Copies of this chain bind each other. A is one copy, B any other.
Amino acid sequence: MSFNTFGKLFRFTTWGESHGPAIGCIVDGCPPGIYLSEKEIQVDLDRRKPGKSKFTSQRKEADKVEILSGVFHGKTTGTPISMIIYNKDAKSRDYETIKNKFRPGHADYTYFLKYGIRDYRGGGRQSARETASRVAAGAIAKTVLKKLIGKKFKVIGGVIQLGLLGCNKNNWNDKEIQKNPFFCPDKKAIKLWEKYLLAVRKAGSSCGAVIELRASGIPAGLGSPIYSKLDSDLAGALMSINAVKGVNIGAGMNAAFLGGEENSDEIRNVKGKTKFKSNNAGGILGGISSGQQIVASFAVKPTSSILNMRETINKKGKNTKISVRGRHDPCVGIRAVPIGEAMMSCVLLDHYLLNRGQCG
Contact call A116/B32, Cβ cutoff below 8 A: yes
Contact call A116/B33, Cβ cutoff below 8 A: yes
Q: Quick one: copies of this chain in the complex?
A: 4
Which chain A residues numbered 87 to 129 have a C-beta less than 8 Å away from chain B? 102-107, 109-111, 113-117, 119, 124-126
A17 to B161, CA, bound (A): 42
Contact call B207/A110, Cβ cutoff below 8 A: no
Contact call A20/B68, Cβ cutoff below 8 A: yes
- Contact partner, A359, options B13, B32, B333, Cβ 8 Å: B32
A: residues with CB less than 8 A from B are 1-6, 8-9, 11, 13-17, 20-24, 26, 28-29, 31-33, 68-70, 72, 75, 77-82, 102-107, 109-111, 113-117, 119, 124-126, 130, 161, 163-164, 200, 205-210, 220-221, 223-229, 231-240, 242, 245-269, 272, 274, 277, 280-282, 284-291, 299-306, 308, 310-313, 317-319, 333, 353-360
Min distance, Cβ A225 to any Cβ of chain B, angstroms:
7
A82 to B72, CA, bound (A): 23
A266 to B311, CA, bound (A): 5
A26 to B280, CA, bound (A): 34
> Cβ of A308: which chain B residues have Cβ within 8 Å of it?
260-261
* A3 with B104, Cβ < 8 A, contacts A256-B301, A259-B163, A285-B109 known: no
Min distance, Cβ A314 to any Cβ of chain B, angstroms:
9
> Cβ of A208: which chain B residues have Cβ within 8 Å of it?
255-258, 263
Contact call B28/A259, Cβ cutoff below 8 A: no
Contact call A246/B247, Cβ cutoff below 8 A: yes
Min distance, Cβ A68 to any Cβ of chain B, angstroms:
5
Residue in B closest to A235 when the chains form the complex, CB atoms: B239
A360 to B3, CA, bound (A): 17
Residue in B closest to A120 when the chains form the complex, CB atoms: B72
> Cβ of A265: which chain B residues have Cβ within 8 Å of it?
104-105
* A240 with B227, Cβ < 8 A, contacts A82-B15, A251-B245, A286-B126 known: yes
- Contact partner, A268, options B24, B236, B274, B311, Cβ 8 Å: B311
> Cβ of A280: which chain B residues have Cβ within 8 Å of it?
245, 301
> Cβ of A69: which chain B residues have Cβ within 8 Å of it?
15-17, 20-23, 125
> Cβ of A103: which chain B residues have Cβ within 8 Å of it?
264
Contact call A109/B79, Cβ cutoff below 8 A: no
A306 to B261, CA, bound (A): 8
- Contact partner, A249, options B26, B29, B81, B245, Cβ 8 Å: B245
- Contact partner, A260, options B9, B105, B281, B313, Cβ 8 Å: B105
A28 to B317, CA, bound (A): 30
Known contacts A245-B255, A246-B248; can you find 19 more A-B pairs with CB under 8 A? A15-B69, A31-B360, A105-B263, A105-B265, A107-B287, A107-B288, A114-B221, A163-B257, A208-B258, A226-B240, A231-B240, A233-B236, A239-B247, A258-B301, A261-B308, A262-B302, A264-B306, A277-B311, A360-B360
* A1 with B8, Cβ < 8 A, contacts A105-B263, A105-B285, A310-B261 known: yes
Residue in B closest to A159 when the chains form the complex, CB atoms: B256
Contact call B24/A267, Cβ cutoff below 8 A: no
Contact call A117/B287, Cβ cutoff below 8 A: no
Contact call B11/A28, Cβ cutoff below 8 A: no
Contact call B109/A290, Cβ cutoff below 8 A: yes
A33 to B75, CA, bound (A): 36
Residue in B closest to A22 when the chains form the complex, CB atoms: B68
